[in-house]
Structure 1
Amino acid sequence: MRRRRTIDWIAVGQAALHDQIRHADLLALGLSSSAITRRVHAGTWARSGYGVISLAGRPRTREQRWAAAVLYAGPGAVLSGVAAARLHGLERVPGDAEGAALVLIDHGRHRISRPPVTIERTHRLPTPIVVDGLPIAPVVRAVLDAARRLVDLDEIRALLAEAVQRGKASVRALRTELDQGCQRGTSRVRQVLGELEDGVRSVPEAWARSLVAAIPQLSTMVWNPRLVLEDGTWLADPDGWMDDVGLAWEIHSFRHHADPAAFDATMRRHARMTGREVHVVAHTPRQLRDDRATVRADLLAAYAVAARRPRPAVRALPPR
């Protein structure tokens, strides 16, 4: 009589990543192909990817689907793009299709993409960071890999600006990675990086930058400078600044001002600037998007008023 195999189920669970495990690993742990098939047909397990079994039935969480993608890609695979950006804690990340994942593998290996998993072979496979058990690309590589695949310019702006604003990536590090990495799909990313290098830190500020550039009567706008008094005392960090006349431009979003503390901070900043004779003009993102003619007229009028007044005794320093 044939003896039934003894399976170490604790070892099976420990070998799984977010309840996902390769078919080959189950065989190595003593299960037969027929036993695996029976559990799949019974609905206890499910096939979550090519050669990958889900021990929890059909994968329900993003982490389970991403784990299945990494296991399918094989040893040394690194999760990048949108999925990795989310795991780094970024929020301004565009939605992705269910189970979509970009996985990097060494250029010497061969594995084909099988939607929703995209496999990219690279000569520059990054050293992964393990987050929630998943090997993910460093944040600079992750956001640029995501940005290269985005079509909407404002989605690229939002993603890269958040990474910079939250201190997860520097503009210099993004530039270095972009120049050294794959050049496919980088034209829009380069445009956004140029905006970031000018000091722009949000989508509305990018809209504002393009609007100002189209008004020849205005002087150069500096973005997110630090204004200090003559003795070096910090005054404020306006969104935009025209140094020749001492004109500050503020862009106020409803989302920001829905927070009472943020609104109070804005009012205090305005009071400090106006108290030092800085002329302040303010607009909302909606105005920048939908009523550019009015914003243009407001800026020209504010510039003219500021030019007729003595320039305030403040200096503009580079952004922090």
Structure 2
Amino acid sequence: MTRSLLPTHSDVRAAFPHGVATARELVAFGFSERTVYKRCLDGGPWQRILPGVILLFTGRPTRDQQVLAAVLLCGPGCVVTGVEACRRLGLRRGLPPAPVDGGYAEVHVLLPDSRQVRCCSYVKTERTGRMPTAVSRGGFLLAPLPRACLDAARCMTRRGDVAELLSDPVQRGLCTVAELASELTAGSRRGIALPGQVLAGLRAGVRSAAEQEARRMWRGTGLPEPMWNATVRDARGAVLGVADCWLDDVAMAWEIESGEWHMSPADHDRTVERAARFTAAGVVYTATKPRRVRLDRAGVVATLRATYAQAKARPRPPLHATPADAG
């Protein structure tokens, strides 16, 4: 093919509006394979981001272009999962910081068992006989939220990150604990210890990393087993709020209170208002910052025992509590 017959820059831009294409697509479009790779040499107008995948510009790719390149590398039928899918499905808690534009964070891609594509650069490939039914977000096919969460959690090493990641969609009503547990059981056995422990806490009503830590500490208090994230109502049935930790026999509430676990100032305001309603209704209420739970367990335990004794010494108010729906 002579140079005059090559597709123009406008032709290429119209055919590949995202600025990413496979070498095979470019050859089919009218370029020779030699021309494609020559244009990727130093000083050329293109660059190779992954084997057989070309950026049709110079400079750093956006995150969307990186993910598209990963999808093109893996071929039709692949599904993005893990941290990238979680982020695109709206989760934020427990995830590593989002890469700045042009940052090469890992993209985890699921492939059918029959497909063989090796991990390469920032792309992590995983062959599976359980290809999920994908959901579409922003032009990308993603694993459903429970699958994406568990695929991400299996690769995490910090309990707090796993707890925040798995509790976030449950708190927001995006999926249930049962759906997460079902995915844990059905999936790979690799890396399931931490997710399994966190899900046990979620079934008991624990809904954050701070509460997970508090629940482990509680076993050393010698106090009765509480309800976690229990809904508390007054004698007329009006909801006073949800208590992080509720001692029903004495109507005592323990709040794991810190701005570091609240998603917005409005959430913190609601916490303060809830505490005021509890106190007005006769609840014996105490709050502890997560940092103190970690660093001064003996002091926290002593405070809880003293608060429980105070609650037990007064008449119990006519309040009713129901445990969190862990389904």
Q: TM above 0.5, one fold?
A: yes
Matched with 1:65 is 66
Bigger drift between 136-145 and 56-65 goes to 56-65
Matched with 1:30 is 30
Residues 80 and 142 of structure 1 are in contact (CA less than 8 Å); yes or no, is this contact kept in structure 2?
yes
Matched with 1:214 is 220
Q: TM-score, with normalisation over the residues of structure 1?
A: 0.92
What is the rounded CA distance, in whole Å, between the counterparts of 1:104 and 1:16 in structure 2? 24
What is the rounded CA distance, in whole Å, between the counterparts of 2:17 and 2:150 in structure 1? 26
Q: Secondary structure at the match of 2:164?
A: helix
Code of the residue aligned with 2:36 in structure 1: it is I
Code of the residue aligned with 2:178 in structure 1: it is R
Bigger drift between 50-59 and 134-143 goes to 50-59
What is the rounded CA distance, in whole Å, between the counterparts of 1:90 and 1:259 in structure 2? 15
What is the rounded CA distance, in whole Å, between the counterparts of 1:15 and 1:139 in structure 2? 32
**1:41-94 Cα deviation digits (max 9, x unpaired):** 234211010110011324432222111111111111111101111111211212
Q: Secondary structure at the match of 2:273?
A: helix
Q: Give 1:11 shift.
A: 5.8
Matched with 1:196 is 202
Bigger drift between 267-276 and 220-229 goes to 267-276
Residues 239 and 249 of structure 1 are in contact (CA less than 8 Å); yes or no, is this contact kept in structure 2?
yes
Q: Give 1:258 shift.
A: 10
1:116 aligns with 2:116: no
Q: Give 1:17 shift.
A: 7.3
Residues 279 and 306 of structure 1 are in contact (CA less than 8 Å); yes or no, is this contact kept in structure 2?
yes
1:313 aligns with 2:318: yes
Q: Secondary structure at the match of 1:86?
A: helix
Mapping of residues 97-116 of structure 1, within 5 Å: 98-116=104-122
Across the aligned residues of Structure 1 and Structure 2, the Cα RMSD in angstroms comes to 2.2
What is the rounded CA distance, in whole Å, between the counterparts of 2:197 and 2:39 in structure 1? 52
Question: Measured at CA, do residues 86 and 180 of structure 1 come closer, stay the same or move farther in structure 2, by a change above 3 Å?
Answer: same
Residues 45 and 58 of structure 1 are in contact (CA less than 8 Å); yes or no, is this contact kept in structure 2?
no
Q: Secondary structure at the match of 2:5?
A: coil
Matched with 1:94 is 96
How many residue pairs match? The answer is 319
Which stretches in structure 1 are left out of the alignment for 5+ residues? none
Q: Give 1:130 shift.
A: 2.0
Residues 15 and 21 of structure 1 are in contact (CA less than 8 Å); yes or no, is this contact kept in structure 2?
no
Q: Give 1:267 shift.
A: 3.1
Matched with 1:150 is 156
Which stretches in structure 2 are left out of the alignment for 5+ residues? none
1:77 aligns with 2:78: yes
Residues 79 and 104 of structure 1 are in contact (CA less than 8 Å); yes or no, is this contact kept in structure 2?
yes
Percent sequence identity over matched residues?
39
Residues 65 and 99 of structure 1 are in contact (CA less than 8 Å); yes or no, is this contact kept in structure 2?
no
Residues 282 and 317 of structure 2 are in contact (CA less than 8 Å); yes or no, is this contact kept in structure 1?
yes
Q: Give 1:261 shift.
A: 4.3
Q: Give 1:259 shift.
A: 5.9
Residues 59 and 65 of structure 1 are in contact (CA less than 8 Å); yes or no, is this contact kept in structure 2?
no
Q: Secondary structure at the match of 1:266?
A: helix
**1:239-298 Cα deviation digits (max 9, x unpaired):** 110111111011211346896644443333222212221100111111112221211111
What is the rounded CA distance, in whole Å, between the counterparts of 1:65 and 1:267 in structure 2? 43
